[in-house]
A and B are shown apart, each in its own frame.
Chain A
Amino acid sequence: MTSNLPARLPGAGALALPDAVARRTAELTQQDQPVIVWQRAVGPGSKPVVSPSLDAVIVGGARIGIRSGQPVPAAPPGLHGRCVGFSEQGEVRIVKMQTADGMVYLAGIVPGSGEILWRRSPVPWSEYMSGRWGASMSPEHAGADPLIAHGSGTGEWLLELLDPATGRSTWKVPWPGGAGPGKAGPPEYQYDEHGELRQVRGTRDGDDSGNARHDANGSGRVRLARIRDSIKSGTTAGLAGVDETDGTVLWRIRYPPAGGGHHWCRPVFLGSEGRCLVLAGAIAAHGEDSCPAVPVGKCSCRDGGAPDPGEPNICTACGGIFRPWATVAVHDRLTGRRLWGRRWPDRADHHKDPADVADMRGGVLLTWEGRFLRAWSVEDGRQLWSAVPPQGYGRFAWPGRRTASQWAWAYRPAEGVRSPRASDLFIHAPTGRSLAIGWALHQTDDDLVLTYADGMLTCLALPGSPALRQPAPVAAPPGGRLDWRIDAATGWREPKSANRSIERLSVTVTVTAISSPACAGAAPERLTADATGTAEDHVWLRIRPADRVQEWFVRQITPSLEYLIFQQALGVEPTGTADCPTGAWSQGDSREYEIVLGIPRSGQESLECVGTVSVAIPGAGSAVREPASAELRIRWRRD
């Protein structure tokens, strides 16, 4: 026996693990699969459409909440048709809203209930259409107060920081303001159509006025504003950094001038991460980045004019062949200076969206570079990983729209630009892991994915989705505080003129909130609610007109005249369904509504409309129950 043996059992040598192999296996074990949040059969013939407000899917005339899978009320009238929602700041959505009186407003709306918190800056519809009024949101939806550039009504732009709750102005400055010639003023950078950047204004290269005002951690105080070609123009002519405290312009980046076939050369704002702003774009140039003789972006004749979309990619001056290149550039939020950038040849047509070869997810920049998919650290341009996905993939769906999510949505262009497609991929930006998920319709910022296949709507939570950490949606309770009765007087109409092809028909609907038999032995809070006369807080009258109905409106007749919705002015969603908010009801309430429908003459009885009472379920988010409905039939006669 030797006495030199260790006191404890040997075996440490046997545990010299091949760490790289063990790490990969550990990663495999941690790879969760997508989780089904809810499923709902809607029928194989349906064509689901995601609502303009992006919180519901509309299928077969019904609205299904994307998060809950439950029926939800239609978006309020302020979010329909011509009313363009362009910002959501927490609980408030800022919209341009047209009302039945022909005026256009800037308004703050609560997305779930449709409650209008404030309206301001009214202009007549004619002025709005003439282009003397417009509004443009900051490209960032950072959850802070909205920064809006809008027309003053006199053709001048104003830049304004709003309090989303009240619509009141925190500050207001002329926009873009103080951009005279010369070197004075904030630094201004100009991109040309070759993707090259030069400083055209400022006291010196890399003016640090932003840094002078803000320390390294003050990046959140520099807000971004779009520069537009004109008030009405939908195109962005540049980007500006604005001091959040007083509206001082700290820097500007201008895009190539419009016209001459250069529209598609303009970058788009892809997203931001800390101090870094990411722009993505496309250029048409010839030359190779590896060839010093013909540098990228320079035609040998120095003409440099990129061809119009659809034209042969040949320089008319020297006969050189242009090639499309994709670009990304990362700028400093504080100074506007370019920190780093990349460009690579891209064979595809960028005329529609120059950004679909780049995406930002979870602070990682992804680029499709030929057959390679690469991930970059936004802050320092360090390459994180690269992969060669299966053939055919090469585009991102919804690039730059979901920067808080971790999963990028990639598709095969050959399968079409519109979703759903059979073989889309979701790629985890930090790691490069990919999941094949076919028939995806929509992706939320917290990585819920809605799919539709074989008549089944499915909401999936991708691994790591914050939605998985939230409590499950509340199931709809079997009953509410009140029972409901809805009576519709069948409408009839005798055609009087053979010349008119559309007849206006009026139907009266009586809605009554009645005592529920289950009221006996009700919970104390219900008795309290009944005693105070407010038994249901949020009730809507849901109207689902037939496809053939071309124009219609709904108004309350008794107890008071009140227009609820006017389709002709506001427009409706593609399915035609609309919810008319009617407010709170108490037991015994009875109200009459007149539904006026403009329909083609048919000369026979037909179902023209379905009216439904929708009641919000307390504590269940946007979910509703539909306790009563009535079919509105039209009977034609010639007596």
Chain B
Amino acid sequence: MPAELASWADPDIGRLEEELAALGEDLARAEVELAEARGLLAAFTRAHGRLMAPLYAELDEIEARITEFCAADSGRPEDLRDAHSARARARESAAAADAAATQPPPAPPPPPEARPLYRMLAKRCHPDLAVGEADRKRREAFMAQVNEAYAHGDTSLLNRLAAEWDASERTAPESPDRLARLRAAVKAARAGLTQVRAELAGLAQTRLGRLLLVEHQGDLRAALKQLDFLADEVRVTIAGRRQVLADLTSQQR
């Protein structure tokens, strides 16, 4: 009967739409996590560089002086070669300390109220949820605007973008081969989710990422506290090596 035919919907389409929605949720959540991890790591990296790099530079400078002193005393080629290496290392450390001192501060993190808005938008318009190439391009362009608004913490713009996206979705024409496109979209969304998670895992595998995101589970304060502790250890080492240098020079006098 015609009425029954009109109300019939392909059950596969419904299932795929549900799956795509769930993937969108996961993707949005992962994107937010990734964004937060990046922000935290950027702040931690800068703090680490400003705190530790000058200490390493100071330590290496003292090591270079000790080695140069001993090499000058013995005059042996091996000792002079080691002194040369120590000096080169001290220069590298000094350059790293200079670079850390001039590193610009990262952008402030988005306000907490922007987070649900961003997540909601990412869930709807993420490029990895696109049904077809044209849809992907449209989503990429739109997502770029969402990202920028989120990075600046512009909640009013995020609200406007959400309304804009809803309106565009309502007027979007129904695709004739929706089933195939949905299948492709689900596949792309899975791949996108895998990629975001891999990127997040990659951050946790970096040296500082492991310290911040794994050992301290993203607790920036705790990680900075450990940095302070490590800095104290290096200061103790510096004091010890400074004493060695003083002993050497006093012996010469």
Contact = CB atoms under 8 A, between A and B. Distances in A.
Q: Do A and B come from one complex?
A: yes
Interface of A: 1-12, 14-15, 17-26, 28-29, 290, 344-345, 369-372, 374, 386, 388, 390-391
Given A5-B147, A388-B70, A24 B42 contact: no
Contacts of A9: 31, 34-35, 38, 147, 150-151
Interface stretch (B7-15, B71-79, B168-176): B71-79
A284 B151 CA distance: 73
Nearest to B39: A11
Nearest to B105: A14
A386 B83 CA distance: 10
Question: A10, A24, A386, A390 — which one has the most chain B CB atoms within 10 A of its CB?
Answer: A24
A18 B99 contact: yes
A138 to B, nearest CB: 34
A135 B63 CA distance: 50
Interface string B198-212: 000001001110110
B220 interface: no
B244 A22 contact: no
Nearest to B53: A21
B78 A372 contact: yes
Contact of B145 (A1, A10, A21): A1
B113 interface: no
A147 B128 CA distance: 69
B179 interface: no
Contacts of B244: 388, 390-391
A7 B144 contact: yes
A11 B143 contact: no
Contacts of A29: 211, 215, 226, 230
Given A18-B96, A21-B100, A386 B82 contact: yes
A639 B248 CA distance: 76
Contact of A14 (B74, B96, B106): B106
A2 B144 contact: yes
Given A8-B147, A25-B52, A15 B207 contact: no
28 contacts: A5-B144, A5-B145, A6-B144, A8-B34, A8-B147, A9-B38, A9-B147, A15-B41, A15-B203, A20-B92, A21-B96, A22-B48, A22-B207, A23-B207, A24-B56, A25-B48, A25-B211, A26-B208, A26-B211, A29-B226, A290-B76, A290-B77, A344-B78, A369-B78, A370-B74, A371-B73, A388-B244, A390-B243
Given A7-B147, A372-B79, A21 B56 contact: yes
A391 B248 contact: yes
B84 to A, nearest CB: 11
Nearest to B69: A388
A564 to B, nearest CB: 55
B46 to A, nearest CB: 8
A41 B39 CA distance: 53
B141 interface: yes
B207 A25 contact: yes
Contacts of B248: 391
Contacts of B139: 7
Contact of B208 (A17, A28, A345): A17
Contact of B206 (A8, A22, A28): A22
B82 A372 contact: yes
B101 to A, nearest CB: 11
B66 interface: yes
A8 B67 CA distance: 49
Contacts of B99: 18
B234 interface: yes
B140 interface: yes
Given A370-B74, A388-B70, 11 more contacts: A1-B148, A15-B203, A18-B96, A18-B99, A22-B45, A290-B76, A370-B70, A370-B76, A372-B79, A374-B82, A388-B67
B218 interface: no
Contacts of A22: 45, 48, 206-208
A21 B41 contact: no
A2 to B, nearest CB: 7
Given A25-B207, A25-B208, A26-B211, A18 B53 contact: yes
Contacts of A19: 207
Contact of A15 (B38, B211, B227): B38
Contacts of B93: 20-21
A344 B93 CA distance: 31
B153 interface: no
A24 B93 CA distance: 11
Nearest to B110: A9
Nearest to B71: A372
Interface in B22-76: 31, 34-35, 38-39, 41-42, 45-46, 48-49, 52-53, 56, 63, 66-67, 70, 73-74, 76
B193 to A, nearest CB: 13
A15 B230 contact: no
Contacts of B147: 5-10
A18 B92 contact: no
Contact of B38 (A6, A11, A290, A391): A11
Contact of A7 (B85, B127, B215): B127
A3 B227 CA distance: 40
A25 B226 CA distance: 11
B111 interface: no
Contacts of B48: 21-22, 25
A324 B187 CA distance: 75
A22 B66 CA distance: 24
Interface string B232-253: 0110000010011001100100
Residue picked from A9, A11, A369, most chain B C-beta under 10 Å: A9
Interface string B122-142: 000001000000000001110
Contacts of B79: 369-370, 372
A370 to B, nearest CB: 5
Interface centre among A2, A25, A345 (most CB of B within 10 A): A25
Contacts of B145: 1, 3, 5
A4 B52 CA distance: 37
A43 B76 CA distance: 49
Nearest to B82: A386
Contact of B45 (A14, A26, A372, A390): A14
**Most chain A beta carbons < 10 A, residue from B96, B99, B139:** B96
B96 to A, nearest CB: 5
Nearest to A25: B52
Nearest to B57: A21
A278 B215 CA distance: 42
A10 B143 CA distance: 12
Contacts of B42: 11, 14-15
Contact of B151 (A10, A17, A371): A10
A362 B92 CA distance: 30
Contacts of A344: 76, 78
A28 B55 CA distance: 13
Contacts of A11: 35, 38-39, 42, 106
4 residue pairs, one from A and one from B, having the closest CB atoms: A5-B144, A14-B42, A26-B207, A3-B141
A21 B73 CA distance: 31
B234 A7 contact: no
A133 B82 CA distance: 51
A21 B49 contact: yes
B45 A15 contact: yes
